[in-house]
Each structure stands twice: as C-alpha cells, then as structure tokens.
Structure 1
Amino acid sequence: MGYCPQCGASVHDTESFCVSCGDKLPNDRHLRFEKQRFSLIAWRMPIIFLVIIGLFFGLITFTYSRLHEQAIALYHEATVALSNEAYEESLYLAEQALDISPSFEAASDLATLMSLYLHDIDVDSNAPYHEQLKQLNDLQIKLDDFKGDPVDQLIIHIRSLQEHFQLKQINKQLENDLSIQDLQALVWEIEAIQSTDALLLKQQLREQLSASIASLANTYLADNQFSEAAELVENGRYYLPEDERLLSLKQTIALAQEQFVKALEERMQKAYQSYEEEVVFNQSKAVSVTDLRLSQTPSNQLKVEGQVKNQGTVPIYHIQVTFELRDANQKVLDTREVFVYPEVLYPYDTGQLDYIYMHQPFDSAAIDINILAVSWLLNEEEAT
C-alpha cells in the first residue's frame, strides 16, 4: 500500500497508474517506503578513525613503557656503579636515565645527589687536618637532606675518608715525643675507628700508653709517692681497662704502700720509744761530773773543783751539785750545794764546778769528796 505522489490517493503495490488522477506512478516507489537498515559502509570512516586513534595511543603507551624500562635499567646500573664506588659513572648513568625519562624522580634525586657529592668530595691532601675534616663534615650535613640507600652508601664512604685522615694524623703525631695525656687522647680517638687499618695502630698506641704510665708510676714508687702512682694507674685503666701490666702495677702499688705504712709505723714506734728513752735520759742521766778534786788556793784556802758535762740532747739550765767532804774515817765534815757555770749547758758542752771555802777549818782533815746529788732543769721557763 502506498500513495499517489500527484493527488495523494491510495494505490496498491501492483498498480502502475493512479486510478484517481491517472498519472503514472513512480517505478521506485517500493524502495521509498522500505525501512532503513544498518550499513557498514556508513560507519566505516568513524571506525577507521577510532582504530587509528587507538593505535596511536597504544604506540605512545608502548613507547613510554619501553623508555621507562630503559630509564629504570640505567638507574639500576647507576646504583650498581655507586656501590662499586664508580661515582662519576653513576652520575653519568643517572643523567642518561633522566634524559630518557625526565619525570623519573629517583633518577633525578640520584643525579642531584651525585653531582653534589662529586663537587664537594675532592679534599685537598695538603690542607690542614682540621680543614679536611670540616669539609667532610659539611658535606655529610648537606647529604642529610637526602634519604635512601644511595645516600647511606655515600655517608659510609665519607666516614671511611674521615677515618683515613684521622689515622694519617695519628701516625704523624706518633713521630713526636708525646705525653701521657696526649697518648690517652689518641687512644680515646682511635677507639671510635672500626676499620681494619686501625687495628695495628690501636695496639701500638695502647702499648705505648701502658709503658709510659708504668714508667712514671715506678718513678713515683721509688719516691714513695703512692697516691700519685695509684691515681696515675687508675686513670690509665680508664683508657686501658684490659691491660694486664696496669692491673699488675695496681696490685704492686697497693702492696708497696702497705709495706711502707707498716715500716713507717714500726719506725714511728721505735722513734717514740727512743724519744721516751731520750726524755728519761735527759731527765736523769744527762749530767756527768768528772775531774772532781780538792786543792788549795794560793791563799791556802780549800777549793773544790770539777767539770760538769751535758751528755743529753737538749739544753740544760741551772745545774746544781750537792757534795760532802769527808775525812780519813769517812766522817762527813761538811755538805754544800753549788751551781755550775755557765748557767746553760747545750748538748755536749762542759761547765765548771768551783767552790772555795773562805775559812780553813777542814784543810788538814778533808781528804775526800762525795757527790750526793746533781739536779737540773730541762727548759728555761722552769728555770725562771
């Protein structure tokens, strides 16, 4: 069923002319009323366009993936070179990886790190020791801004260089005549160095310090300066706690001090005993009277004379001698007390005993003198 294009009347599919107006009907009227179907030809261009776009993005993705893999491989080679201490090669490989993949952050960090390291690691071997260490310390501070295994490896290398310069400086100092304090400082410094190169030098320093302390301690011992020797050894054991020489020397000092104190106590005891004996002697036996005799003066007066000697250890004051005269029958004729002159007799000095009888009733009868007593004072205050 269709319609006449001229008058609009209904026509059948089998009719060639319109029954209403008589016009000839179009031959393609059947096609004009068919429903439109999907046509591959109509969609061909959009599909081709989409395929091309997909291939383009796929190629880009593949290319980027390949480049990123190459960058990762170069970065891995750079880290291997870093581990082998080929620092310039590591920088070159990191920069190559960065050229291939500019957004590769790890490669960028490694390149920056290696560039900074190579710029500051070149230490002048002729520079003063403290400047060398300062340069390495400053570089280590700069590297603290970075994180990861590469920077840890570089810091290990920096510490290795620091230890190298420290050992070099210690060897140089050992060429001089070092004091015990200098050796202690070097032993303390080298203990922090854990490299194998430091082992022999550690042993050398310990031995030199131990020998120096032992020598000085023995000098103190010879002068009986036990406190100084003990303090020196104890201070040395702070730096050399395992040293057998110092441990043995500590025991020797303690034993020597004990023996010295014991001997000193014995000497003091003997000295005290001697002092007591001396005091007793000075009090009771210090004065001796010798050459005691009777004589006559030119005026025929009876004279008693003799010598008095101080055999003590202190000055003696106001010596008084009491004597008696006897006749041939030992009858006491007279008793007198006489002071010796000079008034003071110092140790081993000799004084004079003189007494003249102004009257002579005993001239013919007196034939003997007997000392009854001798008294004296031991200090001047008692004398006054």
Structure 2
Amino acid sequence: MSHCPYCGTRTHDKELYCIYCGEELPADLYKRIHPNSNKFNRWWLLPMVVLILSIISLGTTYFIMEQKTATAQAKFRSGEQVALKGNYSKAKDYFEAAESLTHQFPAASHNKQFMTIALDVQSKIDKARTQTYNQRYKTSLETLTAAEELLKNYNGEVVRNLLEEIVSLRNNTKIDQLEETMEDKPSIEELKNILWQAESIPTDAAKQIVKQIREQIVAYAFSNANERLKQKQYSNARSFVEEGLRYAPNSEKLQSLKTTIEKEKTAFETAQQNRIEQAINAAEKESEKNQTDAVKVTSLEATLNEFGDLIVKGKIKSVATVPINSVSLSYILVNDSGENVLSNEVYSFPDTLYPGETGNIEFTHYDVKNSLDVKVDKVKWFLE
C-alpha cells in the first residue's frame, strides 16, 4: 500500500489513479509500485517487430518477382515481334532472356527451341536459293523438302511465313527448270509432260509456259491432222485433232478442223465425192479470175517463228452468194531465185463460210528452217 501525494490517502499498489481524489498517480510512484512494468512491455514488442520485418521481406520478394515476371513477359513479346519479321537469332536471345528471369515460363522455352529450328530452316532456304541460282534445280528442291520436313510438327504465323517462303522459292525453281528445258526445244511428247508440270505451278510465269506449250501442241496437231485429211485418212486425222484437244480443249482452230474432218468423212461415205471432184475439176479449168469467184484470198504470208519453223498464215473471204464449206487453199513456197521448193494444201477455219465472211489459213512447216516466199496455187471449196 502507498499514500496518494495529493490527498494523503492510502492507495492500492495496483491502482494508477487515487480511488478517493481520482488523481493520476505520478509516473515515478507507479514505477516504484510496479518496477517490472517496462520488462513486461518489451516482451510483447519483439514479436511485433519480427512480424513487421517478415511482412516487409515477403512484400519485397513479391515485388521483385512481379518485376521479373513483367520484364520476362516484355522480353517474350519482343521476341515474338522480331520473329515475325524473320530475325530468328535476335528473337532467340529475347526468349532466352525471358526464360532466365523466371523458372516457370514454358512458352519462352518452347519458342527458344523453335527459333533454333527456324534458323536451321532459314539456312536451308538460303542454301536452296543459291543452288537455284547456280542451276542446281534438283538439289535445290531436295533442300527445300528437307526444310519443309523440319516444320511438319509446328504451326503458327512464323511457320506459315517460312512455309510461304519455301513454296515461293520452290515454284520459282520449277519455273527456272522448265524454262531451261524449253530452251532445248523438246519433242511434242516431252512438251506434254512439261505442260502437266507447268499447270501445277500457280504463277503467271507458269501460265505463260502453259500457253506457249499449248500453242505448239495445237500447231503440231493441226499440221498432222491436215496432212492426213488431204490423204483422206479421216481416222488418223481425227486422232491427231482429239489428242491436241486433250491438251488444248478450247482451241477454235482444232475444233473447226475436227468439224471439217467429220464433214469430209461423211461426204466420202455418202457418195458426195463426185460433186466435190466436179467442183475441183471445174475450178482447175477456170482462169485465175474464175478461181476467186467464190473465194478471195485477202492475205497470205510465210514467216519464221521463234523456234525457227516456217508458218504460213493467211485470210480468205467468201464472195459467193451461198454458204460454202470445206475450203482449201493450195500454195507454193518459192526461194529467192523463184524456184518452187514445195507445195501444200491446207483447209481453212471455220469450216463453213457464209457470204462476206472471212476464214483463216495457218500451217506450220517443221522441216523448213529458212525464209521462203509463198504464192497461191489454187482454191477449192464445196457448195451446199
């Protein structure tokens, strides 16, 4: 028990205030009364400090991890961007940096591994491009196939970019290979095989090759069919035309000749040959003026094409008053000395000419490689 310094009343040792006057007891008196009070408070302060330090430590660690994760994601996005631009080496560095910042970033690890494959694919593409430039077409195509094989288990925009580059280079390589083959002037059978190859390549250059080959096939089929038709070998003539139409189904020239062949064959089988012979005999006895009573030759010339073959082209016009068909033109090729080199007969297309209509004459001499002049010998036609 102690005395209150204010009222002198005895107080209990455990009281902080006087129970009689209500005044707060002095601090030194309280400390005297409770000498162990400070020690008691310090024991509660220690766990509080430890708790605060733990919270700060955990917060700092979380903040650092968040910063590393954000940095890793930024590196990852940068890697994706440069990869789309084709800079696979730099993209690989970004993915490696992203992977090193965090131990749980499987996408960065996967992309880093794929960049190694992309670099290998790009190396093969560059190698194939050099091989194509050096005209090693077969080796180049094999290299591109190997590059494509590396990508078969992957997908995505980068893969699509690489595959597009492979396909583009493969098409260009095939075109270069076909153009080199065309320079060697392949046979008609070889041209047919080249045609299928060119048609499988979806480029403008390939379409040009297809057009060029079809023109040669049509010219070959027409010339041979026309020759068989003159010899009245109708089945053989039709076979040449149908084979040509197989590769050039829209050829008006061959379709017209096919119609001519059928009509000639029908006329032969139905005993109309006598009327044709009479018309031919009558035409042979007439003068040059009488020969142009039904048909007028408006143009006829012989020129060498790019392959060195002599092409005879011309136009005829019907001046008859009724439809005529099976019009044929006989011409003679002469040299600079005026000597006859050879003669030929070719049917015009379309088969039937109505009054005032114009027909076309065309024939390719594959065995003639020099320039010659052409002159009209005679014109024959059939009147319905």
TM range (shorter): 0.5 to 0.7
Query: Counterpart amino acid of 2:75?
Result: Q
Contact 2:241 2:257 in 1 (8 A): yes
Task: State the alpha-carbon separation in 1 of the partners of residues 176 and 63 from structure 2.
Answer: 61
Shift of 1:190: 1.0
**1:147-177: CA deviations, max 9, x gaps?**
2222222222212112112111221222233
**Mapped contact 1:233–1:249 kept (Cα < 8 A):** yes
Q: 1:315-349 CA distances to partner (integer Å, 9 max, x unpaired)?
A: xxxxxxxxxxxxxxxxxxxxxxxxxxxxxxxxxxx
In 1: Cα distance, 2:31 partner to 2:274 partner: 158
Q: Deviations over 1:206-243 (max 9, x none)?
A: 22222122112212222222222222222222222222
CA separation in 1, counterparts of 2:177 and 2:190?
Answer: 13
Structure 2 partner of 1:100? 97
The reply on whether 1:114 has 2:118 as its aligned counterpart is: yes
Partner of 1:44: 49
1:253 to 261, 278, 295: 261
Aligned residue runs from structure 1 range 272-287, under 5 A = none
Number of the residue aligned with 1:166: 174
Q: CA deviation at 1:29?
A: 4.7
Aligned-pair identity (%): 24
2:69 corresponds to 1:64: yes
Q: Are 1:191 and 2:199 counterparts?
A: yes
Aligned counterpart, 2:12? 13
- Counterpart amino acid of 2:121? Y
Task: Rate the CA distance shift 1:172–1:42 in 2: closer, same or farther, 3 A.
Answer: closer
- For the residues of structure 2 that align with 1:142 and 1:252, how far apart are their CA atoms? 57
Quote the Cα distance in structure 2 between the aligned partners of 1:14 and 1:163.
Answer: 105
Moved over 6 A (4+): 33-38, 264-267
In structure 2, the CA distance between the partners of 1:119 and 1:52, relative to structure 1 (3 Å rule), is same
Distance in 2 (alpha carbons) for counterparts of 1:59 and 1:71: 18
- Label 1:176 to 1:220 Cα distance change in 2 as closer, same or farther (>3 A): farther
Contact 2:78 2:91 in 1 (8 A): no
- Partner SS state of residue 174, structure 1: helix
CA RMSD of aligned residues (A): 3.4
Alpha-carbon displacement from aligned partner over 1:49-93 (angstroms, at most 9, x marks no partner): 3213311221222123123212212321221x13xxxxxxx2122
Give me the whole-angstrom Cα distance separating, in 2, the residues matched to 1:33 and 1:176.
Answer: 113
Matches within 5 A, 1:146-165: 146-165=154-173
Equivalent runs, 1:211-250 vs 2, <5 Å: 211-250=219-258
Distance 1:231 1:248 in 2: 14
Distance 1:116 1:109 in 2: 11
- Whole-angstrom distance in 1 between the partners of 2:215 and 2:39: 112
Q: What letter matches 1:231 in structure 2?
A: S
Rounded to whole Å, the distance in 1 between the matches of 2:34 and 2:51 is: 31
Residues matched between the structures, number: 241
SS state at 1:146 partner: coil
Q: Please report the TM-score for the alignment, with normalisation by the length of structure 2.
A: 0.55
Where structure 2 has 5 or more consecutive residues not aligned to the other structure, the ranges are: 3-9, 15-29, 100-104, 276-384
Matches within 5 A, 1:73-84: 73-79=78-84, 81-82=85-86
Give the SS at the match of 2:172.
Answer: helix
| Cα distance between partner residues in 2 of 1:160 and 1:196 | 12
User: Residues 217 and 247 of structure 2 are in contact (CA less than 8 Å); yes or no, is this contact kept in structure 1?
Assistant: no
Q: Aligned equivalents of 1:217 and 1:110: distance in 2? A: 60
* Aligned residue identity for 2:65: I
Q: Is the 8 A contact 1:188 1:239 kept in 2?
A: no
In structure 2, the CA distance between the partners of 1:27 and 1:224, relative to structure 1 (3 Å rule), is closer
8 Å Cα contact 2:79/2:92 also seen in 1 = no
Structure 1 residues 265, 191: closer, same or farther in 2, change over 3 A?
A: same
Distance, in Å, in 1 between the alignment partners of 2:56 and 2:31 is: 41
Q: Which amino acid aligns with 1:255?
A: K
* Structure with more contact order per residue of length (Cα contacts < 8 Å, sep ≥ 6): 2
| Pair 40,226 (structure 1): closer, same or farther in 2 beyond 3 Å | farther
Q: Distance in 2 between matches of 1:96 and 1:161?
A: 28
Q: 1:261 to 1:35 in 2, by over 3 A?
A: same
User: 5+ residue gaps in structure 1?
Assistant: 3-10, 16-25, 83-89, 268-384
The code of the aligned residue for 2:57 comes to I
Partners of 2:242 and 2:35 in 1: CA distance: 122
